[in-house]
Amino acid sequence: RRARRGHGSVGRAAAGALRLGNAVGAAIAGTRVLGRAEASLFVTTALALLALAVVAVLWPRVVAAPLAVLVAWLAVGLLGKARQLRRGG
């Protein structure tokens, strides 16, 4: 039998990222009316991005190393998916 994968916090994080992406896309494109829930999401995200920008200016390696790991992880995942699709699955 296969071991079950946990979908707890990773699933919630992915859902939050998807929600943020949809809201930002709607705000830029003006495709739908945004409400108060999105306002608090935008403030939180903007403050986190500003903090990340300050850290990147002061300590570039602190941002570069995790970013490199994330990009490599995404690349490996995409290559795995491409291989799976080529095999017909």
> Digits of tens for pLDDT over the chain (89 positions)?
555 555 577 777 777 778 778 877 777 787 777 788 778 888 888 899 999 999 999 999 999 999 999 999 989 999 998 998 999 86
- Work out the widest C-alpha separation in the chain, in whole angstroms: 49
d(CA 44, CA 35): 15
Contact 65, 55 (CB under 8 A): no
Distance in angstroms (rounded) separating the CA atoms of residues 12 and 71: 21
Is the pTM higher than 0.75? The answer reads no
